[in-house]
A and B are shown apart, each in its own frame.
Chain A
Amino acid sequence: MSHDHDHDVSELEVRTRALESLLYEKGLLTPTAVDTLISTFEQDLGPLNGARVVARAWVDPGYKRRLLADGTAAIAELGFGGLQAEHLVVVENTPGVHNVVVCTLCSCYPWPVLGLPPRWYKEPAYRSRIVIEPRQVLAEFGLELGEDVEVRVWDSSSEIRYLVLPERPEGTEGMSEDELIDLVTRDSMIGTALASTPVAS
């Protein structure tokens, strides 16, 4: 037996297939479940899910009402939910109110809609300072809010996760739901940024 690199890889590949076939034969697992899991972890758990939710709320007033009334039920309408979004509360930004989300205790995060939290979200500096001096922290993110805008900081817990519904940017009246999705950034749904403005073409 050779022991070159290719051999090592194919040996691991064969061992994986061996375990896989045994698990299926014994009915301990189904191929569909494995495929679903892999694609969930690889692709679906990104901020794109949240962006879809926000874009829908921007174009559909009825959906927006349902989203603000019961976030968990409303994201389930779009096929999202379950894990860590069992009690999702959506908070709406308005001209007079800006919302921002933190988890002061650890890094609770609505990851079925936002994917994995960014590094800074988990760091002690953000977790402690956003509560004490939110305007200053937001300014450091490049978000300067007027004195007339009230800042509300929402502290996530193991029970409740928050998602910010950013304001729909001006000049987007003619845009479709799909086009709007691209304007909804992860940070705008945490509240450390506004939704992007459309690029003039």
Chain B
Amino acid sequence: MSVQAEVTSMTGAEALPRSNGELVFEEPWQARAFGLAVGVVQAQGIDWEEFRGRLIEEIGAWEREHAHDPTESYSYYERWLATLERLLVETGMVSSDEIEARVLRLAAEDDHGHHDH
């Protein structure tokens, strides 16, 4: 099965959020995070299962941590993004140091300039 087919046929907690069959992205970054994950898996010839397995773990871990904390709201794409970071780091494509440094740099740039979302 192709990566795209595997992505759309995920079921259970890891299934993509949809409304009336269509994918739902609440914020633009969610669509970007989605495209980055599917794109890099496809471009690098990684088995989609590598992503899906980690996504299931991330969702499960979040649920265990926040089982008794109703103030924290669950975000599917937050888990998705965490999964992508983990996949990139664990496969050696990007290091966590690189990610943290880049996050700090971009955040600093945002503070000094006007960044329209």
Interface residues of A (CB under 8 A from B): 9-23, 26, 28-30, 33-35, 37-38, 40-42, 45, 82-84, 107, 111, 115-116, 118, 158
Contacts and interface: CB of A to CB of B under 8 A. Distances in A.
A82 B33 CA distance: 24
A10 B110 contact: yes
Contacts of B85: 15, 19
Per DSSP, chain B at the interface is: helix
Interface residues of B, number: 43
Interface string B27-50: 111011111101110111000000
Contact of A34 (B9, B35, B77, B81): B35
A16 B27 CA distance: 12
**Residue among A9, A15, A28, A30 having the largest count of chain B Cβ atoms under 10 Å:** A15
B21 A12 contact: no
Contacts of B67: none
Nearest to B88: A19
A41 B32 CA distance: 12
5 contacts: A16-B33, A19-B33, A83-B4, A111-B5, A116-B8
A18 B43 contact: no
Given A28-B44, A83-B5, A20 B32 contact: yes
A50 B75 CA distance: 33
B103 A14 contact: yes
A85 B31 CA distance: 25
**Residue among A38, A40, A82 having the largest count of chain B Cβ atoms under 10 Å:** A38
A20 B30 CA distance: 12
**Residue among B9, B18, B28 having the largest count of chain A Cβ atoms under 10 Å:** B9
A22 B43 contact: no
B104 to A, nearest CB: 9
A99 B4 CA distance: 28
Interface in B59-82: 77-78, 81
Contacts of B33: 16, 19
B99 interface: yes
B98 A22 contact: yes
Contact of A12 (B23, B35, B81): B81
